[in-house]
Chain A
């Protein structure tokens, strides 16, 4: 009986270690999750927007104002003489 208990203890210990290592190996070799873009980024070309006055507006706790503009609009044609100026960061 004593031998049986000792064998059982060793068996549980070895099985636990092997299970842990097996799980580690599986996780290490599993594919990494693909980072998806937020839903708002996936907007497609939409019709021209109404004038800006039509947007809803809001104020946050910091006293900053914001208004939603989830729909991008297509670039208008350039003016006849003034070059199209676009600020975009670099």
Chain B
């Protein structure tokens, strides 16, 4: 496979496609351009981005581009499907705990100050946001600001992979470990994907076998920083307005669409083992997931084991609760 690497969306992005190099190059270029345009549209770290314009317009109707309207519509849909555990309106909370600039800058500039006075306050619910399909306008209530980080990254990766598929029968866009896979490489029945050890990134925990579709992982061990003497991470629990405290430290989701994988990886990580099955079952979306806890036990359902680990051995598990593609 031919590959192209670039840095975008604050992460390393890999484009790979099977085919003749000269035929693939236009597809690579188009996909690269799409990713860079998507980043400049959806980033919250640039005042010039369309997302920042939308956030500044809270209280007034905002005419959105088709791309921004699509992603905000998806975000609202998944807010309801996850019972609010996926909530893009936690941006004020993210800033309050110190994630007020890109992770690259946060690491360069050292610990963020602790704003003890900025206690979490009441903020409007995402269900109060109004979307008008007819004229693509968005009305954010006063005090609301959106962070579309993960869901936008997944959406961009999937669109870019579909662009590559116009010049290749097998392609992948891997954005920092969250990826969308199209077709199958010659001679393979599934894509091999390694699950990294969240506590020892130099090692892998297990090798997965994945059908074409999306893979995404959320973890509390990657985007971490100190705020005064407090340890912070970027997975905010919308119920507490603070970094989530969960029995799991990472959740990997395999789903038909990248935005689904991104959303449910985050929601199930926040939910933890007590609520994850309920969230997955009630969402009506078909996906598989594997979760890793502090002891490096890997949790999932039997479909996850069969579909992702390439084994159909009967472990004697209980009846399944999670619908899997």
User: Which chain A residues have a beta carbon within 8 Å of chain B's beta carbons?
Assistant: 37-38, 40-41, 43, 45, 52-53, 57, 59-60, 62-70, 72-76, 79, 81-90
The CA of A89 and the CA of B311, in the complex, are separated in Å by 24
Chain A residues with CB below 8 A from B188, complex form: 82
B297 A69 Cβ-Cβ under 8 A = yes
Q: Name the distance in Å between B212's Cβ and chain A's nearest Cβ.
A: 13
Cβ-defined partner of A52 (8 Å) among B206, B223, B274, B277: B206
Q: How far is the CB of B28 from chain A (nearest CB, A)?
A: 14
Minimum Cβ distance to chain B for residue A89 (Å) = 3
Chain B 247-264 against A: per-residue CB contact (8 Å), 1 yes, 0 no? 000101000000000000
Query: In the bound complex, do residue B16 and residue A88 qualify as a contact, i.e. CB atoms below 8 Å apart?
Result: no
Ranked nearest first, the 6 interchain pairs of A and B with the lowest CB-CB distance are A89-B219, A72-B203, A88-B196, A90-B176, A88-B177, A89-B217
Tell me which of A57, A75, A82 contacts B185 (CB under 8 A): A82
Complex contact A66–B298 (CB within 8 A): yes
Instruction: Identify which of residues 18-47 in chain B touch chain A, using a CB-to-CB cut-off of 8 Å.
Output: 18
| Nearest CB of chain A from residue B106's CB, rounded to whole Å | 14
| Surface stretch bound by A, among B58-66, B73-81, B135-143, B312-320 | B312-320
B218→A83 contact, CB < 8 A: no
- Could you tell me if B217 and A40 are in contact, using CB atoms closer than 8 angstroms? no
CB distance from B135 to the nearest CB of A (A): 35
Is the Cβ of A75 less than 8 Å from the Cβ of B192?
A: no
Neighbouring A residues of B300 by C-beta, 8 Å: 64-66
Rounded to whole angstroms, the CA-CA distance of A24 and B193 in the bound complex is: 55
Report yes or no: A83 in contact with B299, Cβ–Cβ below 8 A. Answer: no
- Interface status of B114 (Cβ within 8 A of chain A): no
A80–B1 CA distance with the chains assembled, in angstroms: 9
Residues of B within 8 A of A (CB): 1, 3, 11, 14, 16, 18, 153, 172, 174-179, 185-186, 188, 191-208, 215-219, 221-223, 250, 252, 265, 273-274, 276-277, 293-302, 305, 309, 311, 313, 315-319, 321
Given contacts A60-B273, A65-B301, whether A89 and B250 have CB atoms under 8 Å apart is yes
Contact check, B204 vs A75: say whether CB atoms are below 8 A apart.
Answer: yes
- Expressed in whole angstroms, the minimum distance between the Cβ of B47 and any Cβ of chain A is 23
Chain A residue at minimum C-beta to C-beta distance from B179: A85
Which of B186, B196, B296, B305 is close to A87, meaning CB atoms less than 8 Å apart?
A: B196
Do the beta carbons of B178 and A72 come within 8 Å of each other? Answer: no
Residues on B with C-beta less than 8 A from A68 are 295-297
Query: For residue A45, which residues in chain B have a CB less than 8 angstroms away from its CB?
Result: 203
Which residue in A43, A67, A76, A83 is a CB contact (below 8 Å) of B297? A67
Which residues of the other chain, B, contact A82 by a CB distance below 8 angstroms?
Answer: 1, 16, 185, 188, 191-192
Contact A86–B299 (Cβ < 8 Å): no
Q: Is there an interface contact between A53 and B311, defined as CB atoms closer than 8 Å?
A: yes
A37 and B274 alpha carbons, distance in the complex (Å)? 24
Given A85-B179, A89-B218, are A52 and B194 also a contact pair (CB < 8 Å)? no
20 A-B interface contacts by CB (under 8 A): A37-B199, A40-B294, A41-B294, A45-B203, A53-B311, A60-B273, A62-B277, A65-B299, A65-B302, A66-B298, A66-B299, A68-B297, A72-B205, A82-B185, A82-B191, A85-B192, A87-B252, A88-B196, A89-B222, A90-B176
The answer to whether residues A90 and B178 also contact, given A62-B273, A65-B317, A81-B185 and a CB cut-off of 8 A, is yes
Instruction: Answer whether A87 and B199 are a contact pair too, CB < 8 Å, given A62-B273, A66-B298.
Output: no
Chain A residues lying within 8 Å of B315, measured Cβ to Cβ, are 57, 65, 67
